[in-house]
Structure 1
Amino acid sequence: MTTIVDAAQAALAAEHAAVYGYGVVGGQVAGSRRAEAQQAYDAHRARRDVMARTVADLGAVPVAAAAGYDLPFAVTGPAGAVRLAGYLEDRVAGAYGDLVAAAIGGIRQDAAAAMREAAVRAVRWTGGGVAFPGVAEER
């Protein structure tokens, strides 16, 4: 069983990875996609900061961002960047889904909102969605 602190730390770690990943995405896309990447980057930075405060409020030391992250696949152009953005959003939604399951009250409400936001961004990037965002499922 995942504790609320473990789930909050995992959500924070997913936000750290998303912030890093959107740096890659933004460097590979142009025009409206670049603006979309910037908006997502900003949203993940804000959520990361909220999750760091949440973890601290739960009495734990927030997990730090890694110096770098291995990408799940090579990103060599706009198509790969779009695929990475969808992947990042799916990962973030999954992490927040776990937090929804572990939390109660305001933390649960915030996690549900973050999961919903990530699911909407995933659909915008990939053009399709899943039946239950935040739950592991093949596309």
Structure 2
Amino acid sequence: MSTLDALQTVLADEHAALYTYGVLGARTSQTATPALYAALTAGYRRHRARRDQLRILVEAAGAEPAAAAPAYELDGRLLRPPQLQAAALTIEAESAQSLLALVAQSSGDVREWALTEATWSASWQLELGGSAQTWPGAPELD
């Protein structure tokens, strides 16, 4: 896999993450669950910035950025705060894995950026109530 292929894969994943975070945020109450609402809002903003940076990186590599799908299928019924929180945890775990694949396929500024973002996704899992892992983003190493 080339660096460009890895960038496009992460970009496609970010489109899905943004869609899912949007749904999660819409199903969260800022009044009833302010901490969860704040965490989901922060996650959405970080992924939106990540998506925008990935578009720039793909264009700089001379390609057309992958477009978002019109909609994405979500797993299960996401109605209660624990379900919403679990869905956000899944997004961050998958994001860390995807970004670490980009780290493995890149160098220089792209690699540094991908590692920073993978670290954020791994640590954000703690903010979302997840547990610390020895190798976040690389479950095959556990």
Q: TM-score, normalised by structure 2?
A: 0.90
* Helix, strand or coil at the partner of 1:67: coil
Residue aligning to 2:12? 13
CA shift, 1:36, in A, is 1.3
Aligned length in residues: 138
Of 99-108 and 121-130, the range deviating more from structure 2: 121-130
Separation in 1 of the partners of 2:36 and 2:64? 35
- Counterpart check, 1:60 vs 2:59: no
How much identity, in percent, do the aligned residues show?
Answer: 33
- In the alignment, the residues of structure 1 paired with residue 137 and residue 5 of structure 2 have an alpha-carbon distance, to the nearest angstrom, of 16
The residue that corresponds to 1:98 in the other structure is: 101
TM-score (norm 1): 0.92
Secondary structure at 2:128's aligned position in 1? helix
From 83, 89, 92, the counterpart of 2:92? 89
Q: Distance in 2 between matches of 1:35 and 1:97?
A: 26
Task: Note if contact 1:97-1:133 (Cα within 8 Å) is conserved in structure 2.
Answer: no
CA RMSD of aligned residues (A): 1.7
Q: Partner of 1:130 in structure 2?
A: 133
Alignment-derived partner of residue 48 in structure 2: 45
AA in 2 matched with 1:118: S
Deviates more, 1:68-77 or 1:41-50: 68-77
After superposing on structure 2, the runs of 4+ consecutive aligned residues of structure 1 that deviate more than 3 Å are 136-139
Structure 1: gaps spanning 5 or more residues:
none
